[in-house]
């Protein structure tokens, strides 16, 4: 019965939104409550479009290309490294509640393995707080056919890992959201607005990573290295970060409004 209601909601909401647009009703693209950073990439590759001023610095092969809403940031990947670094700030220092959401696409499946060697199918970073030994990251990954690819969130420091199969296609956008709350503890993974996995009594510990930079399109070098790891060979758009857990309906409506091109 709950599945039927969910499917009815997914079928009905596009019609409701389309009607509202036709009637001239104004919608905001994505919730604003708790928004601490928003990388919309509509004029530059590193400016925070929220009111918090968490601007970044683009390094290497990062450029603007057509995206979900306006333009997106394209990253050069393993063959032509590019990434965005956002300095640590008070508004990006989290307690136990947060949400990270973004649109991502592959332009090349190739990348690097855990030893920084070239491989034809690889994990590629979308958003990372520092690196996988003292922070967290969210990624998309491809695999040789017929194996599925995956999207997920990993925090090695607390052994929290969420992952779900995807069907990677070059040039196709998908939306990934990770949410966390502390009371009661819960961390969730959504893809394209649909809940894929929940871990109860599990959460990321921000004690170390809060003081570290945030990265888009790669993760920072590991201890003593100079290599920015698992670079994205693709694009990101509408990267949003919140200091609270978004509800399932908020995640769904964010995907819907972005798909319909609803801007602020």
Q: What is the pLDDT of residue 222?
A: 66
Instruction: Give the best-scoring range by mean pLDDT among 1-15, 145-159, 248-262.
Output: 248-262
Residue whose structure tokens are 């949400």: 99
**C-alpha closest to that of 130 among 85, 73, 91:** 85
**Architecture of domain 2-259 in this structure:** Sandwich (2.60)
- Give 17-76 pLDDT, tens digit per residue: 544 444 333 334 689 999 999 999 999 999 999 999 999 999 999 999 999 999 999 999
pLDDT at site 224: 59
Q: Give the least confident one: 9-23, 60-74, 165-179.
A: 9-23
The residue extents of the domains of the chain are 2-259
Instruction: Report, as an integer, the average pLDDT of 240-261.
Output: 95
Of 138, 184, 140, nearest to 161 by C-alpha is: 138
Examine the pLDDT at 120 and tell me if it is beyond 70.
yes
- Is residue 246 very low, low, confident or very high in pLDDT (cuts 50, 70, 90)? very high
pTM greater than the 0.95 cutoff: no
The angle subtended at Cα 121 by Cα 117 and Cα 126, nearest 5°, is 90
Q: What is the pLDDT of residue 163?
A: 94
**Chain segment 78-94, per-residue pLDDT in tens:** 999 999 999 999 999 88
What is the pLDDT at residue 117?
Answer: 87
Nearest alpha-carbon partner for 234 in 107, 120, 112, 99: 107
Residue 206 has a pLDDT of: 74
C-beta of residue 217 within 8 angstroms of C-beta of residue 73: yes
Mean pLDDT of 254-264: 84
- pLDDT reading at 12 higher than 70: no
Residue-level pLDDT at 244: 95
For residue 189, is the peptide bond before it cis, meaning its omega torsion is within 30 degrees of 0? no
Write down the pLDDT at residue 55: 98
Q: Indicate if the pLDDT at residue 103 is higher than 60.
A: yes
Residue 157's pLDDT band, with cuts at 50, 70 and 90, is low
pLDDT band at 6 (very low <50, low <70, confident <90, very high): very low
Instruction: Answer whether the bond into residue 237 is a cis peptide, omega within 30°.
Output: no
């Amino acid at each position: 019965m709950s599945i039927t209601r969910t499917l009815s909601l997914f079928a009905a909401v596009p019609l409701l939104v389309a009607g509202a647009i036709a009637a001239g009703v104004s919608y905001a693209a994505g919730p604003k409550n708790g928004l601490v950073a928003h990388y919309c990439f509509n004029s530059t590759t590193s400016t925070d479009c929220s009111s918090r001023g968490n601007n970044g610095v683009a390094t290497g092969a990062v450029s603007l290309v057509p995206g979900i809403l306006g333009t997106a940031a394209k990253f050069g990947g393993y063959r032509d490294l590019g990434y965005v670094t956002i300095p640590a700030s008070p508004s990006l220092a989290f307690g136990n509640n947060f949400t990270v959401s973004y649109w991502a696409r592959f332009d090349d499946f190739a990348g690097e393995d855990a030893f920084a060697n070239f491989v034809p199918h690889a994990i590629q970073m979308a958003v990372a707080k520092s690196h996988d030994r003292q922070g967290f990251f969210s990624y998309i990954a491809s695999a040789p056919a017929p194996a599925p690819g995956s999207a997920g969130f990993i925090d090695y420091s607390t052994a929290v890992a969420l992952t779900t199969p995807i069907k990677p296609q070059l040039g196709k956008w998908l939306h990934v959201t990770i949410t966390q709350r502390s009371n009661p503890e819960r961390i969730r993974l959504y893809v394209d607005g649909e809940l894929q996995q929940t871990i109860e009594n599990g959460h990321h510990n921000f004690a170390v990573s809060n003081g570290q930079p945030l990265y888009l399109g790669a993760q920072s070098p590991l201890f003593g290295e100079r290599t920015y790891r698992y670079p994205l060979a693709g694009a990101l758009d509408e990267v949003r970060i919140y200091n609270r857990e978004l509800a399932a309906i908020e995640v769904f409506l964010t995907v819907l409004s972005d798909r319909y091109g609803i801007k602020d």
